[in-house]
Each structure stands twice: as structure tokens, then as C-alpha cells.
Structure 1
């Protein structure tokens, strides 16, 4: 992903990226996106765009592992988050889903991850401290709660699943208040052109619909052009 594509992806929402992937593939049926409703800590913030640094956590019950093992894995977790390509986002699967109880994401962890260079987090788990987290570190989560419970890291740099969306370490992810999508690697070189084509096509119906005097006849005329142009 070059700088121009990154700048573009930071300006468009996740539904646009989903549609543009279909344009790039020349068909419908792309399904590497989240299911269900997410909660955004900053709904009006720009989208999260970056390569996934992944981990799995749990919080409902205490870990039965040796405390030294837990502490070592926690250190390894932060080393993992601090390394790798840029831009990067944390993509964290809470293994307690759909009954997540412990917030791994709050003022401290958000501030630490931001300091390590990450752009934000996508998780199916819990977030908290919504008035105190850095404004430029968006969190997209499954729920909001007050406690960290028994939260601990279970696995690092592994495939994860977020709201039904499989994510591999290093996948390019685009996420916002609508949910998230994994961009297929083969689409990346043509994604900017596909977004431009999509936006041009959508204007065929949007511009007439916004004009004074729009009626059924003008809709049918515009829709025919729109249908002919889109995937």
C-alpha cells in the first residue's frame, strides 16, 4: 500500500471499500467483512486503516497458567505490537465472545498502543474509559463495560476472527463505525481506481436524485444508467 492509497482509504468509509472490492473483482460475493453491530469510541473519526497485529485474550475466568508464563506472554504481546510494518492496527479476538466481560481496552492500553505507533484497535471485546482514551486512537469494539475482570493474553500473532471475519496477521484492514473489511491482496494495486469508478457510478443516481424536480421518470432514466455502469 503506497502513501496515495493510504490517504485515499483514510477519506472513504468501510462500505465504500466493500463496494470497491466488488468493482475490482468484477462480481458480487466478496464476504471478508464483519457481521453484527460494532461500537465505535469515536464515530466521527477517520477510519482505521492498517496491517493487522493480532492476538487473542480472555477475561471471564482467571488463567490457570503459571503467573510467570502469563507475564512473559504479556511482554511478548507488547513486543509484537511494537514491531512489524506500518501503518498497523491491533486486531484482538476476545475468546469470551459473545459474552465478553473484561475490558482490555481503556485509557492505559489505548495510550500505550498509540505510543507504540498503532493507529487504533478492532476487537469483538470490551472497551472502557471512553472520555479518557486518546482522541486519535479510535477503538472499534463489541461492547462497553466498566471492569477489566480477569483479562489476560492467550495467544499472539495468530489468525483471529472478529464478528465472523477471519483476519490473518499482516492483513490489510479497513474499519469504521459500520464494521470492518479485509482487503484482498490482489485487489490492492487496483483499489484506488476501483474506488474512483464506484464513486463515478454512484453519482449517476445520486446527482439527479438531489436535484429539484426529481421524479419517477427521472429516477428510471438515472437508474438505467446506474445499473448499466455498476457491477
Structure 2
């Protein structure tokens, strides 16, 4: 298992938006380009917040129908120990496996404050959330499929197992990067190299942007600039 990044390395990743990190990952050719990110069904509810970077702690929930053992989500504290086994900062990734995902909400302000006290910086879920003003004021990230007014019968099914939200498959301990554009998993073997790769990409992009804004702009010259900056394979 790849060791967790240092605080300085995590800070370096936070300097970049998630699109830039996604582009940087592509330069390493370590995975296909159509995997490793959640689709648009999972969106940021606080898009003005800076990027979220953290390690995944996974939970599966159901909100349609009472729990078999009679315990609702607030009565389950046993999963906190598994959560604390994940390196910090932590991101709780919640898959709602209900027939109607998001019908009932697991995360509100109280739950968010509890998770924050446990070293979590945000939640990613295909389900719903509530109490948005209080959670935003806490500086706690939310990426969700919807917003709901009620808990309904929300309860924990299991935790510490692989989950899938918005098409993104997540295992406990996976490194995630997320912002207003969406949620991305970061391959651990290249995570420390991504900031430098991202800087190189941004410099190349700046050259194209600056030429497009210059008085010397022509279509033919633009072709040459693009060819020089993005030479291809």
C-alpha cells in the first residue's frame, strides 16, 4: 500500500482545481480516461469552497424501509472506529443503495459536526443531504445527488467496503480530489508527482491563451502555437 501523502503534499494538491488534476493524471497513462471520476449526478452543493482533498471512508445506507435491527443511523456509532482507521484528512463516501436513492437524508448539520470532529472534511454521496446553511458555515464540503427534507428510514447497511457513487468506484483509503466541477479519485502511485505535472500543463495552456489574446493572432499562427505546445504522441 502506498504511504499517505504528507501535509505539504496534500496542500500542494489543493492548489489546483479538480479539472487540472484530472488533466495531469492523464499525462501518466496509468488508467483509462473514462474512469476515475463521478458523473454529473453528484454535484458540489458549496461550489465556492476551495478544493477538497482527503482519504475515503466508505459507508452504505438505505433510507426506504425500516432497518432490520431496528437501529436508525443516529444510533449507529460502531462505524466510527473503522472511519478513524483511515488516514486523515478523511472524506466520507456514502452510497445510498435504496430503491429511491436520496428519498431520506443521512447527513445534516449535527452529523456533519460529528464527522468534522472525527477528522473528516467532507461527504460525497449519491443520496441526499440537509441543513445546508449550518454545514456550509462549518466549512464542511458536501457533494450529493440531491437535497431532502426528511431522514425517512435512513440507516447504515454496512461500512468499510467498496462503494460506488455517480459511477465512481471507491475503496476505503482512496485519495479523492473534488471541487465545483466534480469528484475525482487520484491514483496513489503518482499522487506526489501530480502538482509538478499540473504546473507544466498550466504553463502550456497559458501560452495558448496569451496568444489568443494577443494582437499578433492569426489562425495559421494559432495552429503553430498549438502544435508546439501540444505536440501529440
Greater Cα offset, 46-55 or 73-82: 73-82
Instruction: Say if 2:10 is the partner of 1:6.
Output: yes
Whether contact under 8 Å (2:73, 2:154) holds in the other structure is: no
Q: Structure 1 residues 198 and 30, CA, compared in 2 at 3 Å: closer, same or farther?
A: farther
Of 5-14 and 79-88, more deviation after overlay is shown by 79-88
Once the 2 structures are TM-superposed, how far is the Cα of residue 163 of structure 1 from its aligned partner? 0.5
Superposition TM-score, scaled by structure 2 size: 0.88
Correspondence for 1:151: 154
Counterparts of residues 156-195 of structure 1 (less than 5 Å):
156-195=159-198
**How far apart, CA to CA, are the structure 2 residues paired with 1:29 and 1:2?**
27
Match for 1:43 among 37, 47, 71? 47
Number of aligned positions between the proteins = 228
Cα shift at 1:71: 7.2
Contact kept? 2:63, 2:104, Cα under 8 Å: yes
Q: Where in structure 1 are there 5+ consecutive unaligned residues?
A: none
- What is aligned with 2:210? 207
In the TM superposition, what is the alpha-carbon distance from 1:135 to its structure 2 partner? 3.6
Q: How does 1:70-109 map to 2 (within 5 A)?
A: 74-96=76-98, 99-109=101-111
Greater alpha carbon shift after TM alignment, 198-207 vs 163-172: 198-207
SS at match of 2:88: coil
Distance in 1, matches of 2:36 and 2:30, equals 16
Which of 201-210 and 107-116 deviates more?
201-210
Equivalent residue of 1:136, what SS?
coil
1:54 partnered with 2:36: no
How many angstroms does 1:98 deviate by? 6.1
In the other structure, the counterpart of 1:130 is: 132
* Equivalent position of 1:25 in the other structure: 29
Deviation at 1:42, TM superposition (A): 1.3
Q: CA RMSD in A?
A: 2.3
Cα offsets for 1:184-228 (capped at 9, x unmatched): 122123222211222122222122123345342332222222221
Structure 1 residues 113 and 212 mapped into 2: Cα distance closer, same or farther (>3 Å)? farther
Give yes or no for contact 1:21–1:30 (8 Å, CA) kept in 2: no
Alpha-carbon separation, structure 2, partners of 1:91 and 1:40: 14
Local SS of the residue matching 1:221: helix
Structure 1 length-normalised TM: 0.89
Contact 1:42–1:135 (CA<8 Å) still a contact in 2? no
| Secondary structure of residue in 1 paired with 2:172 | coil
